[in-house]
Amino acid sequence: AMKVAGVKPRDLDMIIVATSTPDYLLPPVSSQIQDMLGAKCGAFTVVAGCTGWLYALAVGQQFIETGAYDTIVVIGAEEVSHAIDWTDRTTCVLFGDGAGAVVLQASETPTGILAFELGSDGSGYKHLIVPGGGAIKPMSHEVIDNRENYIRMNGREIFKFAARVLGRSLRRVLTEAGMSAEDIDLFIPHQANHRITEAAARLMHVPEDRFYMNIQRYGNTSAASIPIALCEAIEEGRCKPGDTLAFVAFGAGLTWGAAVVHLGGPNQDVAVSLADELFILARAKYLARRTVGVVQGMATDALLAVSERFKL
């Protein structure tokens, strides 16, 4: 993102990271990223479930609008795979790992967020939760034995919640921006469930093909899903600088958010360097090794279960 924007680490005024799966409880992963980039600016982490990146984007926009900062990188990054119970088929097939980022910069042209809404309904917090490992139920043998260190989700309630809030939230931000659905060049929803997106499209009276989807490739990457989808939509020519986009998301909390955004950025293509290609290749090899390890672990667990059952 910084390369495309022509931004160097020294140019950054703030780094905002949205994640629910940091490397450590302490320090915040935002500080690690700041160090890895070689930046000298402030950095902090936002936790709002799958809606986290929209929260972070709105916060970054406010910093720029007040004149406090000029250049901010907003990151959504998740490694959900370590929080998945591979014996729970209601969740393990849904999620994926990923990261995406955008650069926000002060500009005299009208770009960025035109209108946004952030919401929360804490009464539904238990519908999407990792019960163990926190202050209420610290990590212990009991937590691990009960598999409470993994994601638990009430899919029916999450679906009802999302179907209820997404269309309404989109309509409210469009009204605030003084626009209609016809003014939006592309809708980019959180990539959680295709049926939820279909329901939102029907409610908005918008053809489904105007909602960008890549869930079939990556699954639900939580706070990373919208920036990843945005990047791919640009690469595929589905949107370009000057277009008006609508983002919408929901997630653990329960949280939701929507935003109407006027897309800025350079018009020229940015070539991928040899270093970039080598990094991509190395990352692919790492993910392949990790996948093999996960599959081998699942096979071992299955064999142990069979052995225990038949006393082999």
Catalytic amino acids? 50, 190, 220
The kind and range of the H/E element at 261 are strand 255-262
| DSSP conformation class of 185 | S
Burial of 59 (0-12, 13-18, 19+ CB in 10 A): middle
What's the CA gap between 151 and 254, in Å, rounded? 14
Show the tokens assigned to 264: 């800025």
Length of the chain measured in residues: 312
Beta-sheet strands, E only, within 5-111: 14-18, 42-46, 71-78, 98-105
CA-based nearest residue to 224, from 7, 23, 41, 21: 21
The set of residues, in sequence order, having a beta carbon less than 8 Å from that of 297 and lying 6+ positions away, is 86
For residue 129, give the amino acid letter: I
Give yes or no for a cis peptide into 27 (omega within 30° of 0): yes
- End-to-end CA distance of the chain, in Å? 54
